[in-house]
Structure formats: C-alpha cells, structure tokens
Chains A and B, each alone.
Chain A
C-alpha cells in the first residue's frame, strides 16, 4: 500500500509540476505576445506535433535506429575492451592515454569527415558517431567496476584456484554490473544526442535532426519544435528502457555481507 502510494507520488508530482510549467509557459506567450521564431507556445507545438505525427514518428524511427545501433555497438566494444584492459595490463596502459584523448574530442565534430569516408547516402557515419560517444562512458565505468572486487571474493576465488577467466566470469564481471549500467545510462542519452546532432552535418534526410534544421530554415518554428519534442521523447525512451533493464538486472545487488 505504502509503496504504491509512494510510486503515485513520485510519478504524480513531476507530472503536475510539468503541467504547471506548461501552463505558465503558454500564459507568458499569450500575455507578452512572444513571436513564434523566438519560442512558440506549447499549444502551437502540440498542434504541429499532432498534425505531423506520422513524419515525427518516421524521423524518430530513423534517428532512434541510428542511436540504437550506436549504443549496442559502442557498449559491446566498450565492455569487451574494459574486460581486456582489466585482464591484460599492457592493454590497460596503452588504452588509458588513447581513451583520455578520445574523451576530450567532441565526437560529433568527426561527422563531416566520416560522411566523406562512408558516403553521404549512408547512415553509417551517424551510427559510428553514436558508437564512439557511447564507448567512452561505458568503457570508463566498466573498468572502474571491474576493479571493485571485494577482498573476501578475491580470497575465495584464490582458495578455489580459479583461473583469471573463471574469476572474471563468476565474480569480476557480474560484480561490475551496477557500474556498467551507470555507464549505459549516461551512454543512452549520449547515443540519441550524438545521432541527432550528426544529422546537422550532412547525410541522408528523414531523421529528426535533418527535419529540425529543414523546418527551422523554412521559418516553420512550431514544426521545428514539434520535431525537438520528438527527439526529447526518443531520448526519454532510451533512458527509461536502460533504467528499467538496470533495475531488473541489479535487483539483488543490495549491500550483502
């Protein structure tokens, strides 16, 4: 009973706050006669969103797919690389410098270069941008998690004369799961943002990013904002799904003795 009341409150409170904010926003637009090119009101954006729901959904599918491919590829490579770095010292030492270098590069800046590499007609460049953006937080967090083995577990596996791989498989990697998911949660939003921004630099039309720039340059501000709303929803879906999987996968990871 109490937990359902708690859930209702944690969901209801932000929803009410959101509605209140939207109302204030609309009120300000009407009261001060704010022009749509500065910012349109929520009613106008909602109207455009409803009218163009099929193109928004189609754009969301394109951008979302690119983000998903990038997320999966970047996460798999990031986790594998971190496991390798945790097992082999040389890999760790070599990659430390490379990863810090890559971490400070604004990944989307690579987009124009990648478009010329893979051809402007393919989505590959966007997926690659998302994958590289995802790789960094997943790799860093996974590696941190892999180094957090509890001494009692380390002793136990030593007593069992377990091989390095057995230790990784049974203790180190499952133990790192909460850290991996922290990385994935950050990465899920990054994947959507990167895939979206990469569209600004070229490539085929159809995605939400391209639709936003097209609508904005055509002075169709409410429509542009409708696409932005679509992008926000895609980001929310990615984040929530990742969070949901995390909750299920780590449900027994309470501080155990």
Chain B
C-alpha cells in the first residue's frame, strides 16, 4: 500500500510544495451498456505519480488500463472518486494542455505533412507560424526525423509514424505524457529502439509519464514504478519500484543485466500470482 505513495528520490524533496503530476483517489468506473450488464472497469483505484516520474500500468487486456488513462486525460469521467493532475481537476488540466497524449495508433492526419501534424496542437492554440516552425524543427531533431519534415504519413514506416505522434504529444512541452501502448503495433526491434529513445526523451524533457503496456520487459526497462493491475473488476494488484538507474545508465546493455531480469521475474510473479498481494485485496472482502 505504502509503495504506491512513495515518490522517487529526486521528486521527494519537492513533493510537499509541488502537487503530484497525477493523483487518483478511490476511483471506480462502471460502464452501463444499453440493455446489457454493467461492466466494472475500475474499482477502488488509488495512484499517485510524482512530477518527472515514469509509471507503467501493466495487466492482462480488459483490466482497465486504457480506461484509467482515459480518465486521467478527461476523455471519460470516473463513476466514483476523484482525479487531479498537477493539483487541477482532470478537465481543467486538459483545457490548460497540461499533458500530451499518444495512442497505439499514431493517429496522424494523412493529408498533413509530418511538420503539419506536429504543429497541429500549436496551430489550434494560436501559436504564431514562426514559433510553430521553430518548435517543430526542434521536435523533429529530438525524435530523429529532421529529414522527413515535408514527408506525408503514408511515406513513413510504422515506427516513424509513432515517433511523429510522440513529437506531437511533446509539442507544447507538457509536464506529463500519457501513452497507451504506443509501441504495441511495432515489431520487436523497432520497439526496443523506441524504448531507448523514449528514455532519452523523457530524461531530456523531465516530463512525468503514465505508460500503458502489456509487455513486462518494456514496463521494467522504462519505468521508475510498475503498477500491476488485475481484471474483473480492474484493480491495482501491486506496485513495484524498479531501480535500474538514471536514464544515462539505461543503455541497451541493461536488457542483459541481472537486475533487469530479476525485476522482470518479479513483475511476472505479481501478474500471475494467485493470491491477491497487498492489503487492497484483503480489505474489501
């Protein structure tokens, strides 16, 4: 239980003055489909993400990972409980563009160039064309696509499209990134390269990340903490703190590392473990 609320070392000193990046308290989400049984997608979910922290949500499909992310993004609202983002309501945080978001589908606009896609949020929020151009050039360099500024999405590979989507999510320098299986549709090689890049990008931008995945190595490689969820109803089963060092230390070699494998096994055990681990499972029954 306490694990879920411990901030990682760098953020701990400022935690009292800076509000948490994400604070989810006692959230339930119940879907009521027409003429069908209701689905309890989330039950009694508590989660705090500190500024600059990388948190992964992992669990079998249908356990409510996307639902939780959509609630934080104010794409849907909780049936019970409260959500705040940087001390604001989820809605206010969305209106203030406090977060950037990326989905499993890159969701680029096929009729816009790469630059046009990255500039979309800036354009919608009234940023002048010179400033837009400067920012998109910067972001293209960050994701390594400077040579493709004027290409169209149909001329890019899946991995490149996803990098454009990440650049777009970063366009307004958000302090929080919400990502729903952004590498889910990529092949293993591309996927690992994207993971390494994401570690570098988040280190450079200092943004907090809530990252949905169902890949255990991916969660372990990327995260400060891994939140393990269980299905029907979706709950947080346990939270694992991963300490694999700073971004600079998390190189490709890390994937071969003893500590990495140890954490992978621990997450696997938590995922497959029969008895619900932690107090949360006990206190309800």
Residues of A within 8 A of B (CB): 150, 152-153, 155-156, 158-162, 166, 170-171, 174-175, 177, 252-254, 256-257
Contact = CB atoms under 8 A, between A and B. Distances in A.
B73 interface: yes
Interface string B109-123: 111000000001101
Contact of A161 (B94, B152, B153, B155): B94
Nearest to B122: A160
Contact of B158 (A158, A170, A254, A257): A257
A170 B120 contact: yes
Q: Which of B106, B109, B185 has the most CB of A within 10 A?
A: B109
B154 interface: yes
* Candidate in A155, A170, A254, A256 with the most chain B CB atoms within 10 angstroms: A256
Contacts, number: 62
B254 interface: no
A256 B154 contact: yes
B161 interface: yes
B107 A253 contact: no
Contact of B107 (A153, A162, A177): A153
B20 interface: no
A104 B153 CA distance: 41
Given A252-B153, A252-B154, A254-B154, A158 B75 contact: yes
Contacts of B111: 174-175, 177, 252-253
A150 B107 contact: yes
B125 interface: yes
Given A254-B154, A257-B161, A171 B107 contact: no
30 contacts: A152-B105, A152-B107, A155-B75, A155-B107, A156-B101, A158-B75, A159-B73, A159-B94, A160-B97, A160-B121, A160-B124, A160-B125, A161-B94, A162-B124, A166-B124, A170-B124, A171-B109, A174-B109, A175-B109, A252-B111, A252-B155, A253-B110, A253-B111, A253-B154, A256-B110, A256-B154, A256-B161, A257-B105, A257-B106, A257-B185
B95 interface: yes
B108 interface: yes
Given A155-B103, A252-B153, A256-B110, 5 more contacts: A152-B105, A155-B101, A156-B101, A161-B94, A257-B161
B243 to A, nearest CB: 32
A158 B73 CA distance: 10
Contacts of A171: 109
A30 B97 CA distance: 79
A172 B19 CA distance: 37
B2 to A, nearest CB: 33
Contacts of A170: 109, 120, 123-124
| 3 tightest A-B CB contacts, nearest first | A152-B107, A254-B154, A252-B152
Contacts of B125: 160
Instruction: Tell which of A166, A175, A252 has the most Cβ of chain B within 10 Å.
Output: A252
Contact of B110 (A155, A156, A159, A252): A252
Nearest to A158: B75
Interface in B140-184: 152-155, 158, 161
B133 to A, nearest CB: 18
A159 B75 contact: yes
B176 to A, nearest CB: 12
Interface in B13-42: none
Given A156-B101, A161-B95, A162-B124, A256 B108 contact: yes
Nearest to A152: B107
Contacts of A155: 75, 101, 103, 107
A256 B106 contact: yes
Contacts of A252: 110-111, 152-155
A174 to B, nearest CB: 5
Contacts of A177: 111
Given A153-B107, A170-B109, A253-B111, A159 B154 contact: no
A148 to B, nearest CB: 13
Nearest to A177: B111
A256 B152 CA distance: 10
A177 B110 CA distance: 11
Interface string B74-97: 110000000000000000001101
